[in-house]
């Protein structure tokens, strides 16, 4: 059965029973108890204009510890002001954290994250340092999102979608309401179930037509007062809007916090080795903090050094995450058998230095020289030294063990070979090594340097004669 | 199994390339003169390896310099070390391997006394020598431990600009040698952030170097292919190397006899296409795999390579099958069975740098219902159509033109990049298909 067919089967079952169905995988995100939840509201049709933000720790607070809104999100000055207040709050929280800490951000829905990212991109260059802190911090989180396996940021709906199939169409998976409905009964056990309010909107980040209608008149009156030069009246009218927005974002925060409590109680065991992945998050957070102390850089494109480090870091994360998933998650591993990234077979010959695996699997991505680990048999790690077709549709893989073992594999024993889990120590050293090399970039990569002069050595005629090979053809 | 061979590409001799200074002389002169950066672009089979040998040995023996050669795979490093050892028995050659692998690898080089295999950079000699290793290994060599006069990068178009940044500080000057038509470096990370930069870290090193420091870099190109005959050059050059004119310098060579596919190849025709009737079946198409296998089995022991008066019957080691996907490799291997285990069946990535007398190509667009970036990649098709010395048989389902027409507008465009890779691939596929169509009959339609 293909992965798509399996997913379709789960969804049909969920739809039929009206309850979420577990995917049988392990947890790919280690949710911290002090993770920060961020909920936002934006004006319909204004993707980079944040109307209100609610923020706080989901496990310890019933209500958001920060909730602010502005009268008119289309006003850039108001946006800077909102982010400035938010940035001050974030800094106050972050400055209290111990060494070895990095923020873990949970955003209520995928659209909310897109709006937050769009607003942060706009505000990362303003002069207000507090506003820039908040914006840069979310841009850092956006960047972490591209790193597979990062434990720094997640979208709540994705967190749930990784473990359960919702009784809803696939295109509603990314909505907070989908999971709120799916887990309403389970949530009742971990706190008061929250019913949908009239302000709820399926995409969770934007306001609703009903809300827009509610604030349409005061917004128009405020705009009129501004253009007619009546600041006192405009200010008075502006005060009537934020409380309504605050109600929306506070409610969204509260629902997200409830869902996370249900998640904590229901989530399966975490993927083995997942904690080691946080090294990369920690490393980039430290770099972020360092750059903050030096003053953030305002540039459209990455400098070459940053681009190189970014590319390497992303590539390492992608490879490490894939290996970790195949090694540690039985469901992913079973899928990997179908595309050749895992080998399912039996032991055909065994010794204390080598063993041979016989497999009927048609697809194999392993080759001579590939390092492999036998799942569940740590003493059988080694390297493939020979690979050959043996009779009808069977392939034999001879594995030389990394260390001779006394625990010899038994004949006909079922065995699963995969690439070994990532070496995080090596990854860290590699990153440090690359960073060191960046300090020695030559003129080819550093446009500020002039090329070295040519040595201008005249080439002797007899030496040139050796290059006549092509001409002779 | 109904499959029918049809006539393929019959093209006249390629137009002779521009003549002038011999490119090898030019490269040697530039290296000798101490030019800080040289890029050498070569067509398939253009003599890159010979150039590497010549430059390396000359700089070491005549000028007493230390030359470091960086390759993209271990196999390339081993092959190049062996070539140096064979061609120049008195040249000091070092092969730097990964930690703990020196003893095992040194067994392969036991018969070459001038080759020293080491796994620690500190064991590399101080004197003039050629030192070979992979880019990944060079990254771990300390700048205080090793320094070379000249860095030579083999298959440089498979090396990213970021990789070059890791190894370039180890040498004073550099020579980047490669084939610009091959598959670009594979990156597993999201690249959106740098897509609009001509010198982005994921781009092939020579292309990025020319984009950033073009005025300070010497650019030389080889102008002949020793592997490909005139008909293939006329097919491959306009499609994949529009900016790199080259001709064929290969002696007259052709296939004679054989069965499905190969019987349609002769001195004036090096390429043909076999269409498998029926609807697209997906990637692991058993009928396409079976036809690939049939072309191979019909040719081995029957078809002959003819060069002048010499005739030689094809053996299993003379034939190869190139596929786009691992699943297709598995299907062809399964169709061939263990009796033909000597026939190399592999993906285009693995075929880079290799050649066979007869190549069977499972067309990358065959069986697809949408034109993905992977399927229309120009480098992949270029590698597939340039591995043969005598003949190439493409095997495909029909409907390639319709598929290309459907995907015409899908090439991703980014601000600042005038010729995106997707568009380049789309043009290349069309160009190859145009050439096949221009030759007359193209593919057999089901029911013909």
Cα gap A72→A218, rounded to integer Å: 10
Q: Do A459 and B169 touch (CB under 8 A)?
A: no
Most confident segment among A132-146, B123-137, B434-448: B123-137
* Burial per residue of A412-440, b for 16 or more beta-carbon CB atoms within 10 angstroms, e otherwise: ebebbbbbbbbebeebeebbeebeebbee
Nearest Cα neighbor of B164 from B192, B130, B136 is B136
B71 phi/psi in degrees, rounded to 5: -115, 170
Please report, for chain B, how many H helices and E strands are present, in that order: 14, 19
The token pair that represents A103 in the structure block? 């923020």
Q: Which residues contact B19 (CB under 8 A, 6 or more apart)?
A: none
| B206 has a pLDDT exceeding 50 | yes
Q: What is the pTM of this model?
A: 0.83
Q: Which residues of B touch A451 (CB under 8 A)?
A: 36-37, 213, 216
A168-174 contacts: CB < 8 A, separation 24 or more?
A168/A14, A168/A15, A170/A11, A172/A202, A174/A109, A174/A110, A174/A111
Cα gap A440→B165, rounded to integer Å: 9
Mean per-residue pLDDT over chain B, rounded: 86
Find the CB nearest A441 among B140, B165, B194: B165
Q: Which residue of A has its CA nearest to B22?
A: A471
Cα gap B194→B202, rounded to integer Å: 8
For residue A66, what are the β-bridge partners? A55
* Residues A334-347 pLDDT 10s: 889 988 899 999 99
At A80 the pLDDT is 95
DSSP alpha helix (H) spans, A96-208: 110-123, 129-145, 156-161, 176-182, 184-188
Q: What is residue A26's DSSP assignment?
A: P
Q: How many CB atoms lie within 10 A of CB A63?
A: 11
Sheet containing strand A153-155, edge to edge, reads: A66-69, A50-57, A36-42, A105-107, A153-155
Cα gap A70→A82, rounded to integer Å: 7
Nearest Cα neighbor of B302 from B310, B293, B312, B290 is B312
The whole-number average pLDDT for the span A113-136 is 90
At B281 the pLDDT is 77
Window 396-435 of A, Cβ < 8 Å to B: 430, 433-434
Cα gap A209→A217, rounded to integer Å: 13
Q: Which residue of B has its CA nearest to A434?
A: B166
CA B418 vs CA B181, B196, B379: distances in Å? 18, 10, 18
| B14 has a pLDDT exceeding 60 | no
The whole-number average pLDDT for the span A439-447 is 84
Q: Is A74 exposed, middle or buried (0-12, 13-18, 19+ CB in 10 A)?
A: middle
Q: Do B327 and A363 touch (CB under 8 A)?
A: yes
At B351 the pLDDT is 92
Indicate the pLDDT class of residue B4, thresholds 50, 70 and 90.
very low
Q: Does A319 touch chain B (CB under 8 A)?
A: yes
At B368 the pLDDT is 86
Indicate the pLDDT class of residue A425, thresholds 50, 70 and 90.
confident
Q: Do A308 and B201 touch (CB under 8 A)?
A: yes
Residue labelled with tokens 């169905």: A21
Q: Which residues of A touch B47 (CB under 8 A)?
A: 469-470
At B9 the pLDDT is 30
Provide the shortest C-alpha distance from residue A390 to chain B (in Å): 7
At A378 the pLDDT is 84
Concatenate the DSSP letters of all residues of B195-236 into one string: TT-TT-TTSBHHHHHHHHHGGGSEEEE--EESSS-HHHHHHH
Q: Which residues of B touch A463 (CB under 8 A)?
A: 28, 32, 58, 62
Q: Which three-class secondary structure state does DSSP give residue B189? A: coil
| A6 has a pLDDT exceeding 90 | no
* Residues B292-320 pLDDT 10s: 999 999 999 999 999 888 899 999 999 99
Q: Do A457 and B32 touch (CB under 8 A)?
A: yes
Window 196-255 of A, Cβ < 8 Å to B: none
Q: Best residue in A431, A452, A467 to probe B by mutation, most B CBs within 10 Å?
A: A467
Could you give the percent of chain A with pLDDT greater than 70? 92
The residue that leads in pLDDT, A390 or A288, is A288
Distance of CA A286 to the CA centre of its chain: 18
At B1 the pLDDT is 44
Cα gap B195→B298, rounded to integer Å: 46
End-to-end Cα distance, chain A: 57
B38 phi/psi in degrees, rounded to 5: -130, 135
| A104 has a pLDDT exceeding 90 | yes
Q: Which residues contact B45 (CB under 8 A, 6 or more apart)?
A: B225, B226, B227, B228, B250, B355, B386
Q: Do B36 and A302 touch (CB under 8 A)?
A: no
Cα gap B109→B132, rounded to integer Å: 13
Q: Which residues of A touch B34 (CB under 8 A)?
A: 454-457
Q: Which residues contact B174 (CB under 8 A, 6 or more apart)?
A: A444, B36, B37, B38, B150, B151, B152, B153, B168
Indicate the pLDDT class of residue A203, thresholds 50, 70 and 90.
low
Indicate the pLDDT class of residue B346, thresholds 50, 70 and 90.
very high
* Residues B117-170 pLDDT 10s: 999 999 998 889 999 999 999 999 999 999 999 999 999 999 999 999 999 999
Residue labelled with tokens 């090439």: B411
* Residues A275-293 pLDDT 10s: 888 888 888 888 888 877 7
Q: Do B224 and A452 touch (CB under 8 A)?
A: no
Provide the shortest C-alpha distance from residue B314 to chain A (in Å): 22
The token pair that represents B270 in the structure block? 């090096």
Mean per-residue pLDDT over chain A, rounded: 85
Q: Which residues of B touch A447 (CB under 8 A)?
A: 212-213
Window 57-116 of B, Cβ < 8 Å to A: 58, 62-63, 74
For residue B93, what are the β-bridge partners? B115, B130
The residue that leads in pLDDT, B379 or B417, is B379
Q: Which residues contact A125 (CB under 8 A, 6 or more apart)?
A: A132, A298
At B418 the pLDDT is 57
Cα gap B370→A271, rounded to integer Å: 35
At B15 the pLDDT is 36
Instruction: Tally C-beta pairs within 8 A across A and B.
Output: 161
Q: Which residues contact B165 (CB under 8 A, 6 or more apart)?
A: A304, A308, A437, A438, A441, A445, B201
For residue B347, what are the β-bridge partners? B323
H/E stretch holding A43? none
Indicate the pLDDT class of residue A403, thresholds 50, 70 and 90.
confident
Find the CB nearest B224 among A362, A433, A470: A470
The token pair that represents B372 in the structure block? 């993905």
The residue that leads in pLDDT, A188 or B175, is B175
Q: Does A448 touch chain B (CB under 8 A)?
A: no
Q: Does A446 touch chain B (CB under 8 A)?
A: no
Q: Is A30 exposed, middle or buried (0-12, 13-18, 19+ CB in 10 A)?
A: middle
For residue B225, what are the β-bridge partners? B248
At B176 the pLDDT is 97
For residue A382, what are the β-bridge partners? A372, A401
Q: Do A451 and B166 touch (CB under 8 A)?
A: no
The residue that leads in pLDDT, A60 or B290, is B290
Q: Do B33 and A456 touch (CB under 8 A)?
A: yes
Q: Do B24 and A362 touch (CB under 8 A)?
A: no
CA B184 vs CA A188, B75, B159, B200, B360: distances in Å? 54, 18, 8, 13, 22
Distance of CA B124 to the CA centre of its chain: 31
* Residues B52-74 pLDDT 10s: 999 999 999 999 999 999 999 88
The residue that leads in pLDDT, A29 or B267, is A29
End-to-end Cα distance, chain B: 15
């Amino acid at each position: 059965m293909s992965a798509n067919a399996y997913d379709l089967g789960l969804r049909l079952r969920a739809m039929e029973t009206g309850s979420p169905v577990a995917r049988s995988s392990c947890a790919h995100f280690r949710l911290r108890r002090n993770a920060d939840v961020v909920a936002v509201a934006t004006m319909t049709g204004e993707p980079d204009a944040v109307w209100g933000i609610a923020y706080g720790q989901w496990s310890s607070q019933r209500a958001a510890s920060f909730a602010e809104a502005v009268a008119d999100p289309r006003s850039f000055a108001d946006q800077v002001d909102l982010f400035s207040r938010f940035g001050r709050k974030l800094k106050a929280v972050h400055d209290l954290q111990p060494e070895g800490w990095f923020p873990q951000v949970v955003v209520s829905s995928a659209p909310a994250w897109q709006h937050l990212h769009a607003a942060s991109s706009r505000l990362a260059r303003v002069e207000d340092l507090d506003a820039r802190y908040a914006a840069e911090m979310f841009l850092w989180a956006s960047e972490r999102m591209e790193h597979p396996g990062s434990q720094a940021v997640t979208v709540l709906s994705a967190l749930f979608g990784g473990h359960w199939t919702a009784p809803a169409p696939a295109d509603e998976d990314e909505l907070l309401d989908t999971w709120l409905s799916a887990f309403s009964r389970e949530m009742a056990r971990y706190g008061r179930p929250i019913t949908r309010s009239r302000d709820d909107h399926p995409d969770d980040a934007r306001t609703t037509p009903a809300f827009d209608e509610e604030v349409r008149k005061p917004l128009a009156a405020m705009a009129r007062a501004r253009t007619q030069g009546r600041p006192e009246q405009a200010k008075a009218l502006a005060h009537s809007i934020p409380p309504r927005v605050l109600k929306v974002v506070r409610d969204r925060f509260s629902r997200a916090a409830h869902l996370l409590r249900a998640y904590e109680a229901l989530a399966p065991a975490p993927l083995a080795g997942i904690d080691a992945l946080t090294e990369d998050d920690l490393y980039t957070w430290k770099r972020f903090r360092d750059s903050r102390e030096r003053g953030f850089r305002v540039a459209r494109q990455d400098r070459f050094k940053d681009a190189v480090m970014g590319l390497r870091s992303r590539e390492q994360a992608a490879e490490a995450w894939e290996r970790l998933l195949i090694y540690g998650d039985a469901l992913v591993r079973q899928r990997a058998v179908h595309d050749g990234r895992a080998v399912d077979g039996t032991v055909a010959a065994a010794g204390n230095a080598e063993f041979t695996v016989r497999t009927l699997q048609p697809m194999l991505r392993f080759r001579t020289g590939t390092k492999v680990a036998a799942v569940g048999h740590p003493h059988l790690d080694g390297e493939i030294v020979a690979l050959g077709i043996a009779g009808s549709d069977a392939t034999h893989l001879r594995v030389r063990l990394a260390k001779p073992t006394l625990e010899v594999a038994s004949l006909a024993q079922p065995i699963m070979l995969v690439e070994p889990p990532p070496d995080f120590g090596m990854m860290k050293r590699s990153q440090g090594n690359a960073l060191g090399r960046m300090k020695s970039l030559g003129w080819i990569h550093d446009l500020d340097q002039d090329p070295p002069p040519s040595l201008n050595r005249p080439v002797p005629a007899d030496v040139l004669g050796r290059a006549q090979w092509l001409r002779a053809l | 199994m109904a499959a029918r061979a049809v006539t393929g590409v019959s093209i006249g001799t390629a137009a002779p390339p521009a003549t002038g200074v011999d490119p090898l002389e030019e490269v040697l002169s530039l290296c000798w003169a101490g030019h800080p950066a040289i890029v050498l672009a070569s067509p398939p089979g253009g003599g890159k390896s010979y150039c590497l040998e010549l430059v390396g040995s000359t700089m070491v023996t005549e000028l007493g310099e230390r030359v470091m050669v960086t390759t993209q795979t271990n196999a390339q490093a081993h092959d190049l070390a062996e070539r140096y050892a064979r061609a120049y028995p008195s040249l000091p050659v070092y092969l730097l391997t990964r930690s703990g692998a020196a003893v095992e690898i040194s067994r392969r080089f036991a018969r070459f006394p001038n080759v020293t295999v080491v796994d620690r950079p500190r064991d590399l000699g101080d004197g003039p020598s050629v030192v070979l290793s992979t880019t990944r290994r060079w990254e771990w060599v300390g700048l205080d431990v090793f320094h070379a006069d000249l860095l030579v990068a083999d298959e440089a178009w498979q090396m990213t600009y970021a990789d070059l940044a890791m190894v370039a500080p180890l040498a004073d000057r550099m020579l980047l040698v490669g084939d610009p038509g091959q598959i670009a470096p594979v990156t597993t990370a999201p690249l959106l952030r740098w897509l609009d930069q001509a010198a982005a870290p994921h781009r092939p090193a020579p292309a990025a170097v020319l984009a950033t420091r073009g005025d300070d870099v010497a650019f030389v190109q080889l102008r002949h292919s020793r592997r490909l005959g005139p008909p293939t050059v006329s097919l491959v050059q306009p499609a994949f190397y529009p900016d790199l004119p080259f001709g064929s310098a290969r002696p007259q060579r052709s296939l004679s006899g054989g069965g499905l596919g190969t019987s349609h190849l002769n001195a004036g025709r090096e390429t043909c296409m076999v269409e498998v009737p029926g609807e697209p079946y997906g990637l692991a198409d058993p009928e396409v795999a079976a036809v690939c296998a049939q072309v191979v089995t019909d040719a081995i022991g029957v078809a002959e390579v003819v060069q002048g008066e010499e005739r030689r019957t094809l053996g299993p080691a003379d034939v190869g099958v190139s596929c786009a996907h691992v699943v297709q490799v598995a299907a062809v291997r399964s169709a061939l069975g263990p009796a033909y285990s000597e026939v190399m069946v592999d993906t285009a990535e693995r075929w880079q740098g290799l050649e066979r007398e007869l190549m069977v190509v499972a067309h990358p667009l065959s069986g697809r219902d949408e034109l993905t970036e992977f399927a229309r990649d120009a480098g992949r098709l270029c590698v597939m159509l340039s591995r043969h010395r005598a003949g190439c048989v493409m095997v495909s389902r029909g409907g390639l033109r319709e598929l290309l027409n459907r995907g015409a507008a899908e090439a991703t465009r980014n601000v600042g990049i005038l010729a995106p890779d997707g568009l380049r691939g789309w043009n290349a596929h069309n160009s190859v298909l145009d050439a096949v169509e221009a030759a007359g009959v193209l593919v057999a339609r089901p029911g013909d």
